[in-house]
Amino acid sequence: MVVRLILSIFTLGVVSSVFPAFCQVSNSNQKDTVHRRHLPPIQHKSFESFEEALQQASELKNLVLVGKGLKDIPTDIAKFQNLEILDLSNNQISNLPKELALLQNLKVLKLSKNQINAFPEILKDLPNLENLDLSSNEISNFPSKPITLAKLKNLDLSKNKLTKFKNINLPEIENLDLSNNLLESFPELQNIPKLHTLNLSNNKITKLGPSLVNFTSLRRLFISNNLIDTIGKEIVSLEFLNFLKANNNRISFIHPQMSNLKALVNLDLSNNFLSSFPTNPDGFKALANLSLSSNQTDRFPVEIYHIKNLRVLNISNNKNIVLKGIDNLENLENLKLSACELKDLPKDLCNLVNLKQLDLSNNQLKSLPGDFSNLKNLTFLNLNFNQFEQLPKEIFSLGNLAYLSANNNLLTTIPDDIRRLVNLKQLQLRKNKFSDDELDRIKKLLPNVAIMF
């Protein structure tokens, strides 16, 4: 089920990027904002001011005053004794009053986009607090003595000015977001047996710290856009790790025992410096989705071709790519080879008979090998930005092909054989060299296909 979900997500991403008319999907922000899924949606009555809400203080369970220009929280907040959700995001609040501690039923507190510069100690006196959003403030200081947030499950401290994380005990924490800060070292966290998701992306961290061994329940780890050069043995202790996003670092070494992570399904190591990869015939048993795009090294890590269960592989933008041996990936269904300076394709690639999606865009291809017609399961093919003067005849044997994109080539005509693609739904032919008469002929040739010139 997990693999099917991965492939569905990959399929939607690829198809929507090349065929926007087919997939009208909004271009969502791709940053690691995983915390947003954990805070429940707030159903509330709308108030224009604190004073207006105060008239119903004893009745309210939810209070939302977002973007109201508040510079402080009035002491009358204590009158909202039944409050469970308080959202004061996007104001100008810099301090929290001691009266806030009287809200003993408060479960969700959202204070993002304010002007808070120190972690509020008063929060330790909210015994039922489960969700806390302090993102997009100016927090750089922590309490001088340890405090405990006994029931807190979700904490978002992203987009602050943190240089370290200390003196906050989180025994029930499940999701912690420290992304987009100034952290230079891995946070020293202890007694966090329930932590599932940790986001440390966009910091200045250079090493994975020894405290990583304490994260025994960790499922999702985001460490992209840091200065990390090594994935050491500490990672091996994360036996439940399912998702690791470590792109845009300086990683040149991965500990061999990382291949023993039996739960790892998704691994993003793009834009690093890897010239080798852990080799273990029985390793990476669950790994289905691997990205090694934009790998900056003179040697391509061909060891990845031993990961037998891979379904999705992105090795785009690798200038020294080696494809010999790729046919070992007999379960591969999605392959991205964009911007690899390819002038031809080896026979090995044509043996990937389970391949369903193939991206060959931004290369220097003029033709395809005869064995390309072996890829009978292909439903999606991207040939954009190559040097094709005609569509290769091998394509017309791909009876399952539904989406074909050949934008920005040198095509002047489309042969009648394209009608053999009986499942073709969409054809993209923008920026080629068709005459007006040929454009009309193509439209008549494929009346049931969505064609984009």
Residue 308: give its domain's CATH number: 3.80.10.10
Where a domain ends, among 262, 291, 322? 322
Establish if 155 belongs to a structural domain.
yes
Q: What is the mean pLDDT of the chain?
A: 91
pLDDT at 414: 97
Nearest to 242 by CA among 288, 191, 295: 288
Establish if 152 belongs to a structural domain.
yes
Mean pLDDT calculated for residue range 43-55: 85
pLDDT at 39: 52
Where a domain ends, among 304, 322, 340? 322
Same domain, 375 and 292: no
Integer angstrom CA distances of residue 419 from 235, 434, 447: 52, 18, 10
CA-CA distance, 208 to 340, in Å (whole number)? 31
Same domain, 201 and 105: no
Establish if 92 belongs to a structural domain.
yes
Share of the chain above pLDDT 70, in %: 90
Per-residue pLDDT band at 27 (split at 50, 70, 90): very low
pLDDT in tens, 60-105: 999 999 999 999 999 999 999 999 999 999 999 999 999 999 999 9
Residue 311 domain boundaries: 183-322
Same domain, 317 and 247: yes
pLDDT at 190: 82
Same domain, 284 and 376: no
Residue-wise DSSP of 405-440: E--SS------GGGGG-TT--EEE--SS---HHHHH
Establish if 101 belongs to a structural domain.
yes
Per-residue pLDDT band at 409 (split at 50, 70, 90): very high
Establish if 238 belongs to a structural domain.
yes
Same domain, 351 and 291: no
Mean pLDDT calculated for residue range 335-343: 97
pLDDT at 46: 80
Same domain, 361 and 408: yes
CA-CA distance, 251 to 224, in Å (whole number)? 11
pLDDT at 337: 98
Same domain, 55 and 125: yes
The pTM (predicted TM-score) of the whole model is 0.87
Establish if 4 belongs to a structural domain.
no
Both tokens of residue 129? 């607090």
Mean pLDDT calculated for residue range 435-445: 96
Mean pLDDT calculated for residue range 288-305: 96
Same domain, 313 and 354: no
Residue 35 has pLDDT above 50, yes or no: no
Where a domain ends, among 322, 353, 371? 322
Query: How many domains, in total, are found in the chain?
Result: 3
Residue 176 has pLDDT above 70, yes or no: yes
Burial category of 108 from C-beta neighbours within 10 Å (exposed 0-12, middle 13-18, buried 19 and up): buried
Burial category of 394 from C-beta neighbours within 10 Å (exposed 0-12, middle 13-18, buried 19 and up): middle
Same domain, 148 and 222: no
